[in-house]
Every structure is written in structure tokens, then in C-alpha cells.
Amino acid sequence: MDAGILVVDDELRMRKLIKDFLKQKNFNILEAEDGEKALKMFQENKNRIHLVLLDVMMPKLDGWSVLRQIRQLDKNVPIIMLTARSEEQDELFGFELGVDEYITKPFSPKILVARVEAILKRANPIKNELKNHDGIVIDNDARTVTVDGKNVELSFREYELLKYLIDNENIALSRDKILNTVWNYDYYGDSRTIDSHIKKIRHKLGKKGKYIQTIRGIGYKFEIK
């Protein structure tokens, strides 16, 4: 696999550990030891970077600041945050800013690699398949969503969530099922993560956002009436 990954962490030992395991899978690794260097490297290598592993606590610029600025440059590149603690409010805040996934330190390098591979696989589908649902068109190849011909900017996770709902049209999906499928692993955080993403997707879809229905006590479903 020739995908490029930007590893951002102020600890040399941590960067080396991550790099060694990712290189075994033939990933191309770029490194940065602080937030300022990370932004510079991302700007200079934007077309080569397919995923960012980003530490939260760093000198010069912390992970949140880097995240905000990367999202201004690229709405879609997957970003996995590496954090020394797992606080519900921190995670919800991160998802609001555009984080795609969290990994809490200490972590298993093999699990990290598995999650990187899974998220990259989902970000690069093989088949191009256009689906039109009353003006909502999903292009799997370009990973774009348009509503009545107008492009809608969605983060990686927002896109995956909307696609999952549409792929299961008219089926009520529980929050647990959504978390385990869209987040691609057993996520033990608060289910409000989903509610936050749904709220943003509805807003971005405009009048078509009504097709995402809340099923009280269960979760959500996509239904065109």
C-alpha cells in the first residue's frame, strides 16, 4: 500500500514505534514533532498525505489547533487523534471539529495499523456507484455528495454515516449498530457522538435533511416519504 501518512507526535519514541509498524505495511511515513511543523508538512505534501495521526498535547501548536487548520485546507482527509486520556467532552469536541477516530494511549500498535488500514479502505472504495435519492446523489468513487446538483461538503465520518443510512433505506438502525459499523470498531464513548453528526448532516442537506428520521428509543433511519 503506497498511501502516505503524516505522524504527528512530540515524543520521538512514539513516532518511531508507529512508523516501524506502519512501514511493515508499506505505508509512506512523514513525521512532525510539533504542531507548526505538522501544518507546514501538510501544506507542502497535501497530495501525498492520505491520513493524519495527530497527537493532542504538543508544543507550539496543540492538536486541536492543527486539526482546525487542516480542516480548513482539506475537509476529507481522515484524521485519527492520539490522546493520553479519554474524556467524553474532549471526544465530542473533537468530533465537532472533524476528527474521524480516537485512539487512547497506551494502545496496541497492531490495532492502530488495523484501524488505519480500515479507514483508508473505506475512504477509497473500488467501485464507482452513483446513487440518487430524491436529489441526494452519492458518488462513491469521488466520495462526493450533491443535493439538487449542489455539492455538499461532508467530513469523512459524516459521509460514511450518511452513506450507511442511505444504503439501509427504510431500516431503523440502532445507535450501537451505527457506531459499530460506521466507526468500524466497538466504540465505547457516548452515543451523543452520533446525534452530533446527524445534526450537522441534516443542516448540510437543507430541506432534504428531513429524510433522516429519529426513531425514539432506537436510533435513526433514512426514509423518503
Is a pLDDT exceeding 70 seen at residue 188? no
Q: What is the mean pLDDT of residues 111-129?
A: 78
- Whether 190 contacts 88, CB under 8 Å: yes
Is a pLDDT exceeding 60 seen at residue 187? no
Backbone angles phi, psi at 152, to 5 degrees: -115, 125
Q: What is the pLDDT of residue 128?
A: 57
- Phi/psi class of residue 15: alpha, beta or left (left: φ > 0; alpha: ψ in -120 to 50)? alpha
Is a pLDDT exceeding 70 seen at residue 131? yes
CA dihedral sign of residues 61, 88, 212, 202: negative
62-66, 106-110, 132-136, 211-215 — most confident range: 211-215
Confidence tier at 181 by pLDDT (50, 70, 90): confident
Is a pLDDT exceeding 70 seen at residue 1? no
Q: What is the CATH code for 130-222?
A: 1.10.10.10
Is a pLDDT exceeding 90 seen at residue 205? yes
Q: SS3 of 214, please?
A: strand
Q: SS3 of 122, please?
A: helix
Q: What is the pLDDT of residue 39?
A: 94
Is a pLDDT exceeding 70 seen at residue 216? yes
Residue 107's Cβ-side half-sphere holds a number of Cα atoms within 13 Å equal to: 22
30 or 124: whose pLDDT is higher? 30
Is a pLDDT exceeding 60 seen at residue 110? yes
* Domain ranges across the chain: 4-123, 130-222
User: Rounded mean pLDDT of the chain?
Assistant: 87
Residue 65's Cβ-side half-sphere holds a number of Cα atoms within 13 Å equal to: 12
Rounded Cα distance, 71 and 181, in Å: 24
Q: Residue 147 is placed in which grid cell?
A: 443535493
Confidence tier at 3 by pLDDT (50, 70, 90): confident
Domain at 4-123, CATH from 3.40.50.300, 3.40.50.2300, 1.10.390.10, 3.40.50.150:
3.40.50.2300
Residue 148, number of CB atoms within 10 A of its CB: 12
